[in-house]
Structure 1
Amino acid sequence: MRTLEVKIAYLDENLKIIERNKEFYSTFEKVGFIYTSITDVVFPKHKADLLKFIKSGDSKDIVAFKFKEISGEYKYNIVTKAKEDFRCQNLTVLKLIDISNAFKTFSEAEFYEKKVAHVLSLTSEYLFSYQKSTNNFTMYNYIQNKRVTVYNQDIDAWKSQVITDGFIAESDVKEFEGKIEELKECNEIFWARFVCSLRSNKSVFEHMSLKAVKFIDNGEVYMLGRMLPEIVMNQSEKSAMLLQELKFDALTGVFNKKAISDLAQKRFVTGAKENALLAIVDLDHFKPVNDAYGHLAGDKVLARAGEILRNILGEDGVIGRYGGDEFLIILEDMQEETVFRGIFRTINNDMRLAFEDMFPDIKVTVSIGAARFPKDGSTFDELFKKADFCLYRAKDKGRDRYVFFREDLHSELYKKACEAKTEGIKYDVREVRELKSMSSFLLNLSASTKSAAETVLGHMLKTYNLDSINIYYGEAMERKFCLGQKSDLLSEARYVYSDIFKNALGSQAFIRIDFTTEVISPDFGKILDERGVKSSIQCVIGSPENPLGLITFDRLKESALWAEYEMNCCIMVAAALNLLPESKIKLLFI
């Protein structure tokens, strides 16, 4: 049955989108992680009303506005709002539900309910609910496909009535009374068994089983359950358990290795539907958790990881536990790179947040490697090898990131890995190449300052997928040197004199920013965001207390994690420039 898709955006006081869920991202945004205002996606004529709605005090209102989707079409969405403390910021949470999809979902739910009613009318199963706030108990069943309410009253009155009417066997009255009091406590799971004639009005006494689970809706606490003859309940549970054992991993709640492998083998074959993706998700630093805190702690991490993956992917993907701390994911309809980037980034973020306070001395994160079908391979084995290769690349780059296979970047190294018959590459020819590039730069810097700098910076611009490298110099911190995109927003960097920048630097002479919305200093992140910078490494020339200049390595189109060697090379270039006399540095600007 279709699930109701809810798009969520977190807005600051200026209505900037600080964070969003994958449904919002895949519906409205085209490229990269562009942190825009919510007003950029709303129908122009609805902008004023939306602003009024967001700034109004009442959070219970439900309204509808048109929003522009990737296709360019404006569609009506039901909109609700709330306030939430998100990452130490008091943000407005906006939730959007497409009206047309909502109607389809409700129609399917109605049809599904009718099917359930038909099945229940065949089994004579009784369903019941208890609402804690009202103390009300309801029991009903289905006769000839119609719902019939058997009881609807205060639970204590119902308990007294069925005992008085003789529907509970005398030997089980005390057990029954105790279990009803237990039901009223609304624990996560409720179970009871006793002899009664609730189904037959005293004509037949039978052993009955009652099972219920806790359910919370808009702050109201309910217990929802079913009542069946004990023999039927036992048989159904045994069948369900057998099916679960055959397909699902008991600890994580996702498919087991055999099930996910079978699905992948059948899915990735020549001629199958295109634009699918295979990803391997591996927990970072999982072994130290088991070694230091024991396998119970490790099991807790695995169970939480499985829950996070299920919540993020929903019906968009299939998940299986492939190894001890390794999960396999199959994603469909991954035609646009920005969609699976959004999913992977959400997985990285949610996993990091879930485990950041669990162990004081171990940082549990995840690394992800992925390959696309049929672009990167036409069989499961081919895709798995390339995804596994990318997983090792993510580990080598510092973990807590994703890498998807790219022919232009990975073909040479992947070929070497296959020839060496290794799971991954324990050495990296790319890092070696960067070291040689840095060595050449350092050797030539003093004799041919401008040529050496332009050569190494041009190499970094291309191979690090940068958009712009800028050098600012002098008291006005004007841009004196630029490679790549010459953005008007980056013509000066006078913020180096501000307390915001100095606080962001801390005790270092450089700042690394992977995502401008997730820096330690949100104020400095806002400065970069306003300048159109999504990721940046910024190194001071001179000293933080007396800056002579600044060199920045910027990504303007989309955010991305910096590899450790990329960051180290940027710092090395700045350190080398710092060793030059001012007269040599000025040669760069001629």
Structure 2
Amino acid sequence: MIPVSLRHEDSEILEANCTITKDYQIISGDESFYRMMGENTMFLMNKLIYPDDLNIFEECISSDKSNFVLLRIHTAKEVFRWVLMRRRFEADEPGRIELQIKDVITQNDKFELYYNNVRKYRVFMNQMKQRFFEYDFKTKIITIYFYVNGHSEILEKDMLSEWQKRVVRMGFVEGENIERFNRMCDDIENGIDSFSSTFQSSFMSRGTRTDLLNFRGETMREGSINMLVVGLIDEIGGRIDAQPVLYDNDVNKDSATGLLNKKAVTEAVIDALAEADTLNDRRTLYLAVMDIDDFKNVNDTYGHYFGDEVIAGFAAELRKNIGDKGIIGRIGGDEFICLFTDCYSEDDVRIYLKAIRKGLSFSLAEKQPGYEFGASIGVAKYPQDGTVYEELFRIADGCLYIAKEKGKNRYIIYDEKLHGKAIAEGIKNGHIIGGDFMKPYEKGNMTADMIARIVKDGRNAIDSVFTELMDKMHIQGICVYAGDDMACVKKYGKYGNHPQYAALMGNDKYLSLFNENGINVINNITSLAMDFYDIYKMLIEEKICSSLQIGVKDADGVYKWLICFDTFGDHKRKWSHDDIMSIYILIKTIAKLDEINDEKNL
């Protein structure tokens, strides 16, 4: 007989929800349910109930009352666990039964009171504009967060000492504000009973605006032992805003699913990876590339209307199960992408992916009994597998290819020892192409084509070349400066007055940022704030946050051109070597052609 668990340490899940049919088949569940039940979800629900409790279970699902009953259920830990179960009539659909399950071992006499209080306080926190912070004396970690939709969104999580150094090093506090900031960190570390500190800083926006912040905190103790510092962060004025980039609008949405479209989701993922890289974020982010199996056969067999239902249903499952824990978008006909930004373990990711596939499979089978839904998924990890979008996408796409090779309808999370060789061979043989973002060889082909057009049509080709470059390489603006005064002679994109570089191009300190090939890479303009504050302010005013600058010298070694490739708003990017080389070769071609024309004119 399988034992009944009575030990508190065996208990992990407070509450779970699932859907079953009247024939006891488990259709779907939330992440807690799959975590509680594990592989047992493949069995009928009545087979998981302790034999002596079957009558209680039958009464529960056949009753017209939504009362909790006490029974035992077979869980993932190979034990029968005492649970409270009730039927949720408010969520019932025809032919389905919605069940709520609460683990008894985790309950105590006052649990309901505590649980409802927590939910109540979360609602209060949802309504508050302040940010929250806490410092754990045991781990030495400070966490800064806010609440939205009942969930905490973490802005910062790091060792207090490392966070303090990083904020100062990156110029997020300056001048006399550094002393105030450091004094506040000392108050937190020393466990001062209560404190209040006000200073100007741009760390809340990663350097894109300056806020006047007030930190108020108190130390919590058990006896004489410091446990936590908790407090509020108020933005009390003095804000200098940069215009935010909003992805949640119709322009950025895929019309068929309501998810982000390919361009918007790609930019959002690039932003998130760049932010994690800039902040030296220690969290693991998971990039998942998903493909609906045999989708062409769906359209051919059941028609395009049902095919549209499959696409919309998959998108709905992604929204329901991932929600605000990641960035989701559609990148092709039956292809989707998700960056999990709020998962704390690989097991969490596995549970989400399983829940997505399980729920949709049943609902579609009801509409088309002959159809078995399947999705293949490949997953890569940041920063373990790479830090640049293209690199992570290629690995995830390779894992997707392996998932299909192994029989489809499964997920593969990249492990170099297990999958590295197969992915390398797949890329070599052309089976793994990494979606339709610009891969290195595609950038090479694009660059060669652009060079041919420039050689053929001369300067007449530059407009079309730069426009195509912006579209395919996710560049929001290009500005061309020329002459002794470095005047702007051409600009592409939504610039205002465009930055003025004339003074800086005669500044030896600024010119030292350019390498021997005339390339200056600015992944984050905050790096300019300390030494080149004027240009930093100009870039802020223009909403520019990253820039690739390429200078072209004349025969005397003096810069005659400066071409800036810019991203706006929150689109900070880490310029890859492939990006830089493709753009550099194009500019060198244009410059060489200009030299040849000048010689002919002589």
TM-score (norm 1): 0.39
For the pair shown, the structure with the greater C-alpha radius of gyration is 1
TM-score scaled by structure 2?
A: 0.38
